[in-house]
């Protein structure tokens, strides 16, 4: 019998408390935050973040339409999703050193092939490699390493700190990528990014992530529900629905945002700089999540943030060329995205345990990957402001899907069995009684 009961059973009111420690302690804690702050920034920009900036120039350079280029992102997402479960199994069993190092190497090759693509077939081949690299070396893999390597009382703060740094730096990179593309062209920009992954991701992951032997020695300390039990949990499917709708909304908007702003008449500088507001408000959302801590559940924070995001997307077509109003609407996307990135990892680890964390993340990633694959092509096909109406509505759906979880935030999975690891908040509640 599993140590976890995934039915919602009444217990003491329990909220997720996330605090950023004034000073971190523990070598693994500090090393992983520093490592992932660098490698996730470079990897995300090179494998994901630069694509919206280069979409238009690539289409022009290859003499094809924007939807044809956007299909490359769909291919990378589907290939990454197919690789997700075996990569998750490898992460659960052997840890992240080998997986993330190889993933960075695949990323270098993929970006190099991308930079030299002369036809759509070559572009699509490059993005198949990029999809594998994303699965092996970006956020989900990094979360799996943190969950396995960091003690539970520090785990959430580590995830929060890392994503706060990366969320800001990746969006600060957007205008830099626009400037670099104007100077070096899209091919030269990609060559610079390939070198960046080679100099940071490959050696960094190899040296700083705990080795497989240490990961296996720590295995008895990790507990969690089986994958079969998780799949029979209503909580899991509500989370999957919410995060899938949210993923579709943010992916579609982020893919077309720079192009949309250019087409509306904003200057190149404004069109590539306005998305920086997303990164800034990701940080605002995460600081807000930390400060709310024990007073408001993460699910309720998500409900509010996703509803705010929906309002921003739906209002953007009516802002004209007002820079201020456009910034306000785009900032709402940052609030939703900032909360969602943390919430998925934290709620899965908190609700379903850590033994099969990477595999559970991979299963939730499957419908999210389908949404992410369809969203860029859909956004490019709709164009104008129609894609904002669609994805604003999907953000609202994500908010509604989390309402039952937010309403029952006082319910929590009960931990059963001898030796089961309880959360720090549950332990304090029992001592108080």
Q: What is the mean pLDDT for each group of 10 consecutive residues in the chain (433 residues)?
A: 42 39 45 86 89 88 88 88 88 84 94 94 95 91 84 75 79 80 90 94 86 62 73 88 92 84 84 79 76 70 91 90 88 86 81 81 88 81 83 93 76 36 37 33
Total number of domains in the chain: 2
Q: Are residues 231 and 188 in the same domain?
A: no
Q: Alpha-carbon torsion 355, 426, 415, 7, what sign? A: negative
Separation CA 57–CA 61 (nearest Å):
6
User: What token pair was written down for 401?
Assistant: 């899907």
Separation CA 372–CA 390 (nearest Å):
14
Q: Is residue 307 part of a domain?
A: yes
Last residue within a domain, chosen from 201, 217, 233: 217
Contacts of 213 (CB under 8 A, 6+ apart): none
Contacts of 322 (CB under 8 A, 6+ apart): none
Closest CA to 138 of 87, 182, 185, 175: 87
User: What token pair was written down for 46?
Assistant: 């090179």
- Residue 13 has a pLDDT of 39
User: What token pair was written down for 28?
Assistant: 């693994």
Q: Is residue 98 part of a domain?
A: yes
Q: Is residue 326 part of a domain?
A: yes
Closest CA to 224 of 405, 17, 423: 423
- Residue 113 has a pLDDT of 95
Buried b (16+ CB within 10 A) or exposed e, 145-158: bbbbbbebebbbbb
Q: For residue 395, give the CATH number of its domain.
A: 1.20.1250.20
Q: Are residues 204 and 249 in the same domain?
A: no
Closest CA to 246 of 171, 369, 340, 143: 340
SS3 sequence of the chain: CCCEEEEEEECCCCCCCCCCCCCCCCHHHHHHHHHHHHHHHHHHHHHHHHHHHHHHHHHHHHCCCHHHHHHHHHHHHHHHHHHHHHHHHHHHHHCCHHHHHHHHHHHHHHHHHHHCCCCHHHHHHHHHHHHHHHHHHCHHHHHHHHHHHCCHHHHHHHHHHHHHHHHHHHHHHHHHHHHHHHHHHHHHHHHHHHHHHHHHHHHHHHHHCCCHHHHHHCHHHCCECCHHHHHCCHHHHHHHHHHHHHHHHHHHHHHHHHHHHHHHCCCHHHHHHCCHHHHHHHHHHHHHHHHHHHHCCHHHHHHHHHHHHHHHHHHHHHCCCCHHHHHHHHHHHHHHHHHHHHHHHHHHHHHHECCCHHHHHHHHHHHHHHHHHHHHHHHHHHCCCHHHHHHHHHHHHHHHHCHHHHHCCCEEEEECCCCCCCCHHHHHHHHHC
Q: Are residues 156 and 232 in the same domain?
A: no
Q: Are residues 299 and 179 in the same domain?
A: no
Q: Are residues 171 and 235 in the same domain?
A: no
Buried b (16+ CB within 10 A) or exposed e, 204-233: bbbebbbebeebeeeeeebbbbbbebbeeb
Q: Are residues 250 and 379 in the same domain?
A: yes
Start-to-end CA distance of the chain, whole Å, equals 27
Separation CA 116–CA 7 (nearest Å):
52
Q: Is residue 127 part of a domain?
A: yes
Main-chain dihedrals φ then ψ at residue 412, nearest 5 degrees: -150, 155
Q: Is residue 8 part of a domain?
A: no
Q: Which residues pair with 4 in a beta bridge?
A: 415
Q: Are residues 283 and 355 in the same domain?
A: yes
Separation CA 412–CA 8 (nearest Å):
6
Q: Are residues 57 and 117 in the same domain?
A: yes
Separation CA 143–CA 96 (nearest Å):
10
Which pTM does this prediction carry?
Answer: 0.72
Last residue within a domain, chosen from 178, 195, 217: 217
Q: Which residues pair with 414 in a beta bridge?
A: 5
Q: Are residues 70 and 206 in the same domain?
A: yes
Q: Is residue 418 part of a domain?
A: no
Q: Are residues 256 and 361 in the same domain?
A: yes
Contacts of 432 (CB under 8 A, 6+ apart): none
Q: Are residues 206 and 254 in the same domain?
A: no
Separation CA 210–CA 200 (nearest Å):
17
Last residue within a domain, chosen from 217, 249, 274: 217
Q: Is residue 183 part of a domain?
A: yes
Q: Which residues span the domain enclosing 327?
A: 223-409
Q: Is residue 4 part of a domain?
A: no
Q: Are residues 263 and 344 in the same domain?
A: yes
């Amino acid at each position: 019998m599993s140590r976890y009961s995934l039915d919602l059973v009444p217990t003491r009111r329990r909220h997720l408390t996330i605090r950023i420690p004034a000073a971190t302690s523990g070598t693994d804690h500090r090393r992983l935050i520093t490592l992932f702050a660098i490698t996730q920034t470079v990897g995300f920009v090179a494998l994901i973040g630069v694509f919206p900036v280069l979409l238009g120039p690539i289409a022009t350079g290859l003499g094809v339409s924007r939807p044809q280029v956007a299909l490359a992102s769909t291919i990378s997402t589907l290939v990454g999703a197919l690789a997700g479960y075996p990569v998750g199994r490898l992460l659960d069993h052997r840890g992240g050193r080998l997986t993330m190092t190889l993933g960075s190497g695949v990323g270098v090759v993929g970006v190099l092939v991308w930079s030299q693509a002369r036809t759509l077939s070559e572009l699509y081949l490059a993005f198949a490699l990029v999809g594998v690299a994303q699965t092996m070396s970006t956020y989900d893999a990094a979360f799996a390493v943190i969950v396995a390597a960091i003690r539970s009382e520090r785990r959430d703060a580590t995830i929060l700190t890392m994503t706060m740094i990366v969320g800001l730096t990746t969006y600060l990179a957007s205008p830099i990528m626009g400037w670099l593309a104007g100077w070096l062209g899209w091919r030269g920009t990609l060559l610079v990014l390939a070198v960046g992954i080679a100099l940071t991701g490959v050696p960094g992951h190899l040296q700083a992530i705990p080795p497989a032997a240490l990961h296996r020695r720590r295995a008895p300390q990790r507990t969690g529900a089986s994958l079969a039990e998780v799949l029979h949990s209503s909580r899991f499917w509500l989370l999957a629905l919410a995060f899938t709708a949210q993923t579709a909304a943010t992916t579609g908007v982020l893919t077309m945002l720079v192009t949309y702003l250019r087409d509306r008449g904003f200057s190149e500088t404004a069109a590539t700089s306005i998305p920086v507001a997303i990164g800034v408000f990701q940080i605002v959302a995460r600081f807000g999540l930390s400060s709310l801590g024990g007073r408001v559940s993460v699910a309720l924070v998500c409900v509010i943030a996703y509803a705010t995001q929906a309002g921003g997307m739906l209002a953007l077509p009516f802002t004209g060329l007002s820079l201020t109003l456009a910034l306000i609407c785009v900032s709402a996307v940052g609030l939703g995205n900032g909360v969602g990135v943390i919430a998925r990892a934290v709620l899965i680890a908190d609700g379903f345990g850590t033994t099969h964390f990477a595999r559970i993340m991979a299963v939730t990633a499957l419908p999210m990957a389908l949404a992410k694959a369809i969203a860029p092509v859909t956004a490019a096909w709709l164009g104008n402001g129609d894609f904002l109406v669609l994805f604003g509505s999907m953000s609202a759906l994500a908010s509604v899907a989390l309402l039952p979880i937010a309403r029952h935030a006082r319910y929590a999975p009960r931990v059963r069995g001898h030796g089961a690891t309880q959360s720090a908040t549950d332990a304090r509640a029992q001592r108080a009684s």
